[in-house]
Amino acid sequence: MHAELGQTVHVAVEPETRTSHPLGNGLWPWAFSTGGILFLVGGMLHPRSDSSLPEAQATAQSLGAATWIPSHAFILASAIAFFIGLLGLARSHMPLSTTARRAAWVAAGGALFFAVEGVFHLGAFADQDAVLAGEDTTFLSTHMTLSLVVYPLFSVAVAALAVLSGRVVTHPGVSVIAVIGAAAFGTAPALVGLAGIEALGPLFPIGGLLLALWFTVAGLTAVLRGSARRRPAIPSR
């Protein structure tokens, strides 16, 4: 409508708001941080084997520990959260390079296999008696076989994503955490489980801790950046 001559027209001006940035959109940052925290909790609950016992007895003792099921339930839940987060990141509008986005897709696939492996890892408690009797251990053997492939795949892909994403996901300095964690966690199954170098057993908790920290920090960084970009800007006068 046209205002009549001499009539004052009042125009309501809404305060300027910053548009939402892709970094703060979607579920993936929350899935990252949730997965990292769940993995940390699962690692802290993981039973410690008694190295003074014969291998079969030490393994059976760990499988029968009261914390075996809750520990690996948390780890399985973290793998699912990692899958959701990595899949969301790969499909997001984040300004990732082509190689970084491919790394996110591969990491998402690795997290999915990590979850499948986690089902057998969790169910390994059912093989406690079989371990002592020297019989076939369906769940434990499947977990150990899958870990030789799944752990390196997942770890290397996450490390590649951390490095190739630059500052898009989080500070590049934090990528060092992912790289060191990936090197430890990815090689542990072969060095400890296959080669039998028990002295390198700490590679599992150290590598897992560092990877979990990277996921947690990356997720929190994305949440905080997105929150900052959604704050209303102060209108200029």
Q: What is the pLDDT along the chain (237 residues), one digit of tens a residue?
A: 444 444 444 444 433 333 334 434 589 999 999 999 999 999 999 998 888 889 899 999 999 999 999 999 999 999 999 999 999 999 999 999 999 999 999 999 999 999 999 999 999 999 999 999 999 999 999 999 999 999 999 999 999 999 999 899 998 889 999 999 999 999 999 999 889 898 899 999 999 999 999 999 999 999 998 777 665 544 545
Q: What angle do CA 26, 222, 36 make, to 5 degrees?
A: 90
Indicate the domain borders of the chain. 27-229
